[in-house]
Amino acid sequence: MAATASAAKPSTWSSIVKPAVVLVVICAIVGFLLGTVNNLTLPTIMANREARAWATYSSLIPEASDFVALECDVPGVTACMEAADGKGFAITAQAKGYSSQVPMAVAFDDEGVITNVIGMDNTETPGLGTKVKDPAFTDQFIGRAAEPITLDDIDAITGATISSKAALAALNEAIEAYQTTAGEAPAPAASTEKGAA
């Protein structure tokens, strides 16, 4: 009787160790395959990112034939480019909004005037925070001097104050980057708080 009772009871190998080994082997194979696919597609992913970046620069300064990357250590600035033939500067910067980074692309002429602003894709609240990329918001910066801008100076988006502040902070970071790369002394950073001096 003891022999039949032990035959009915599953062994430690088949009940615990074997399923664990099978899961580890499956995970190792899937991990290897995912890593291989990532390595195979990485050049295409990087080329697409660079193409999107160049499309943004070309949208900012359409008359520029080429761009040269400049050194920039301003926090929040993701790219600082000088347009060929002295056509100006294209700078992208981002700041933390309500739920994501709010990236802005800004073009400056050689006189330090903002000539174009593009609000880039973000994952802020649809219908509210995403409005920072609409021309109704971005066009208010065109023609301004490359000097810090406060929340009092702009028409913020109603119901999206945090996203508006983030877009303004990104814009001010781009202004600081322009001042630094154009050889001007950077002005003190302006507060994005309404009513701050």
Query: Residue 106: inside a domain, yes or no?
Result: yes
- What distance in Å separates the CA atoms of residue 129 and residue 102, rounded to the nearest whole number? 9
* pTM for the full predicted model: 0.74
Task: Label residue 177 by pLDDT band (50, 70, 90).
Answer: very high
Query: Residue 91: inside a domain, yes or no?
Result: yes
Task: Label residue 191 by pLDDT band (50, 70, 90).
Answer: very low
Q: What are the tens digits of pLDDT across the range 20-38?
A: 999 999 999 999 999 999 9
Q: What are the tens digits of pLDDT across the range 75-128?
A: 999 999 999 888 899 999 999 999 889 999 999 998 889 999 999 988 888 888
- What distance in Å separates the CA atoms of residue 141 and residue 121, rounded to the nearest whole number? 18
Q: What are the tens digits of pLDDT across the range 137-159?
A: 999 999 999 999 998 888 888 88
Q: What are the tens digits of pLDDT across the range 164-175?
A: 999 999 999 999
Task: Label residue 9 by pLDDT band (50, 70, 90).
Answer: confident
Query: Residue 122: inside a domain, yes or no?
Result: yes
Which residue segment(s) compose the domain that 165 sits in? Answer: 16-185
Q: How many other CB atoms sit within 10 Å of the CB of residue 79? A: 18
Query: Residue 4: inside a domain, yes or no?
Result: no
- What distance in Å separates the CA atoms of residue 117 and residue 133, rounded to the nearest whole number? 9
| Per-residue pLDDT, 92 | 94
Q: Helices (H), strands (E): how many in the chain? A: 5, 5
Query: Residue 191: inside a domain, yes or no?
Result: no
Query: End-to-end alpha-carbon separation of the chain, Å?
Result: 91
Nearest to 191 by CA among 168, 159, 158: 168
Q: Based on the structure, what is the number of domains in the chain?
A: 1
| Per-residue pLDDT, 192 | 45
Q: How many other CB atoms sit within 10 Å of the CB of residue 174? A: 32
| Residue 85 token pair | 């033939």
| Per-residue pLDDT, 157 | 87
- Burial code of 120-137, b = ≥16 C-beta within 10 A, e = fewer? bebebbeebbbbbbeeeb
| Per-residue pLDDT, 41 | 93
